[in-house]
Amino acid sequence: MMEKLRITVNGRSYDVTVEVLETDENKHSPKREPESFPVQPLTAINGGKAQANTSKGNTGSSPGNSAGKTINSPMPGTILSIKVNSGDQVKRGQVLIILEAMKMENEIMADSDGTIRDIHVSPGQSVQTGDLLITLT
């Protein structure tokens, strides 16, 4: 049996068609609670572009990282390219890194103005959610 549903994600509505494999009437087990998945509060999607996670202070990932803002990976993936160099002045919204995740290119952007202090990754490197990418001052 096919069923049409409307799903809303981040304020956008999508019409989808799903195939119903089981219904409550033909199940022999008690009704299960819907599965919940942990929300990653450090990841924000805005207009289809991944926003960088930032936090102030020492992340402990790099020696001498005693001040500044850190840009962390919002998702696991592979660094395709780095669009900035150490010492570069960056503006809010400027693309810093291209991260490939699930065969999609995601732009990691600066969420504030600053200067690139350290770049902690290189092209081709695999990263996990929360890994330190860049330190801004």
Q: What is the pLDDT of residue 64?
A: 44
> Which domain does 58 fall in, by range?
44-136
CATH number at residue 60: 2.40.50.100
Q: How confident is the model at residue 72 (pLDDT cuts 50, 70, 90)?
A: very high
What total number of domains does the chain contain?
Answer: 1
Answer whether residue 82 is part of any domain. yes
Tell me phi and psi for residue 81, to 5 degrees.
Answer: -155, 155
Q: Cα 5–106–82 angle (5° rounding)?
A: 175
Q: Is 67 inside a domain boundary?
A: yes
Least confident of 56-60, 94-98, 107-111: 56-60
Please indicate, yes or no, if residue 81 is contained in any of the structural domains: yes
Burial status of residue 77 (CB atoms within 10 A of its CB: 0-12, 13-18, 19 or more):
buried
Measure the CA–CA gap between 133 and 70, rounded to whole angstroms.
Answer: 7
pTM listed for this prediction:
0.53
